[in-house]
């Protein structure tokens, strides 16, 4: 399972590149992904997870599932704004996945002693679903000419990381049915991105 956590993100990155004409990640993403991974590895978790309640969901959102994906998306957005790019050639997924490669490597190292399939298998799957899914929704939002449709896509972008953290929370709380439901919801934009945007 540790090898899955270590290798899944780079494998998915290569797999996705074979299906798309995107520009891919950048050295900047790899460098800053490494820096943030090392900093978090040294500092530890930002949130005390507590038990099975809201604090566990917040912990899943910030430390485990969602923020590790949202942070590079935000950084990439800032870079596009600074470069005054229209976003037409933007590759949010490639940048985010490249950023997550060192994150996955260090998480595999820190989580390996626990041998928890939730952390070592489900979480990397959620990372890639969020990275590709959010990028797909951003692309649809930028292509749309309708303000209402843009707002709808924006709300989906906000909700997707919430569902990712809910999947982690439900599996941790041993609510397998809810966990699979939220997990599948999180995977839907990823699946659509391959069907509609390959």
Q: What is the pLDDT of residue 28?
A: 82
Burial letters 63-84, b for 16+ CB under 10 A, else e: bbbbbbbbbbbebbeeebeeee
Q: What is the pLDDT of residue 175?
A: 93
pLDDT in tens, 127-161: 999 999 999 999 999 888 888 999 999 999 999 99
- Between CA 187 and CA 108 the distance in angstroms is 22
Question: What are the CA-CA distances from residue 38 to residues 21, 62, 103, 193 (Å)?
Answer: 31, 16, 8, 31
Pick the closest to residue 107 from 55, 168, 37, 177 (CA basis): 37
Q: What tokens does 130 get?
A: 């969020």
Residue pointed to by tokens 């530890």: 44
> How many residues belong to the chain?
198
Residue 48 has pLDDT above 70, yes or no: yes
The structure's pTM equals 0.91
């Amino acid at each position: 399972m540790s090898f899955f956590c270590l290798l899944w993100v780079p494998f998915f990155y290569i797999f996705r590149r074979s299906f798309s004409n995107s520009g891919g990640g950048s050295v900047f993403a790899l460098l800053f992904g490494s820096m943030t991974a090392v900093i978090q590895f040294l500092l530890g978790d930002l949130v005390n997870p507590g038990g099975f309640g809201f604090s566990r969901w917040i912990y899943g959102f910030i430390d485990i599932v969602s923020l590790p994906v949202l942070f590079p998306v935000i950084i990439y957005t800032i870079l596009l704004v600074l470069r005054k790019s229209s976003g037409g050639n933007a590759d949010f997924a490639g940048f985010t996945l490249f950023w997550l490669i060192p994150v996955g490597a260090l998480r595999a190292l820190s989580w390996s002693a626990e041998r928890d399939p939730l952390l070592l298998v489900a979480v990397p799957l959620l990372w890639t679903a969020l990275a590709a899914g959010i990028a797909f929704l951003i692309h649809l939002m930028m292509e749309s000419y309708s303000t209402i449709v843009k707002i709808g896509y924006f709300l989906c972008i906000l909700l997707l990381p919430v569902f990712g953290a809910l999947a982690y929370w439900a599996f941790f709380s041993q609510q397998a049915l809810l966990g699979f439901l939220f997990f599948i919801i999180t995977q839907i934009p990823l699946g659509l991105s391959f069907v509609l945007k390959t």
